[in-house]
Each structure stands twice: as structure tokens, then as C-alpha cells.
Amino acid sequence: MKHLLLVLLLLTGSLGRVMAQNDIQKIESQKIGYITNRLNLTTEQAPQFWAIYNDYNGKKKELNRKVRQLTGENSRQGMVANDAAVLSNLKELNGAKQKLGDLDDEYMPRFLKVISPTQLQELYKAERNFNRMLLEKLNSNQD
């Protein structure tokens, strides 16, 4: 009986991970469609653009993860840590935010070899709009 319960728990956990992975893939597919349409990418532009964007987006996700981590540490340490530790953390947070700006500067010429400046500006808008829509949908599902 214990083995059956253990197997059921393992299967339930695995199913949850598979469902979460499917949700992530669905969101990524929607994002690709949304950005492709907003930028009005041609069939020639799309493969080159997505190769650059995927590299850029992977680095951007890592930096955003670092910012969220540091922001969480700052709020937790504020009550316990000394001023020097908090200041060090804040400097590290500012450095991570600066790296996000540097990443945009680094990738701008790469994007501009494939898409127009207007399309690049639209990319930044499309990312913000997609993320906002996603958050609104998640918030409405929690109500």
C-alpha cells in the first residue's frame, strides 16, 4: 500500500511538471506569434530575427532573474543585515540593471542588420504589451 501511494504521489508530481511545461510552451508560442505579427516580419527576416532574439532573450531572462533575486534579498536583509551588506546588495542590483541596458546596446546593431529601427522600437513595445497582457490574464484567473 505504501508503494502504491508513493507511485501515485510521484505520478502526480510528474504530471504537474508536464502540465507546467506545456503551459510555458503555449505562452512562448503565443509570444512568438504576437511579436511576429506586431513586427510584421517578412519570411526572410523571421529566421534571422528569431535566432538573434532567442539569444538576446535568454540573456535578458538571466539578468531579470538576478534582479528579482537581488530585490528579494534586499527586502529580506533590510531588517537583519547591517548597512554595509545592504549597500553592497544595492550596488550589485544597480550593476545587474545596468547590464540589462548594456544588453540592449549590444544587441541593437545585431537586430538592425535584420529589422528596421521602427521594427526594433515595436519589438520593445510588443514585449512590454505581451508581458502586461499575460500578467492581466494571470491576475484575472486568480480572482
- pLDDT value of residue 80: 58
In a domain, 1, yes or no: no
In a domain, 108, yes or no: yes
In a domain, 5, yes or no: no
- pLDDT value of residue 50: 97
59, 143 contact by CB (below 8 A)? no
Distance set, CA 41 to CA 30, 35, 48, 124 (Å): 15, 9, 10, 15
Burial of 122 (0-12, 13-18, 19+ CB in 10 A): middle
pLDDT tens digits in sequence order for the chain, 143 residues long: 444 444 444 445 554 555 567 888 999 999 999 999 999 999 999 999 999 999 999 999 999 999 999 888 655 554 556 888 888 889 999 999 999 999 999 999 999 999 999 999 999 999 999 999 999 988 888 76
In a domain, 38, yes or no: no
**Number of domains, the chain:** 1
- pLDDT value of residue 76: 58
Give the end-to-end CA distance of the chain in Å, rounded to a whole number.
38
- pLDDT value of residue 15: 47
- Residue 93's domain comprises 46-142
- pLDDT value of residue 11: 47
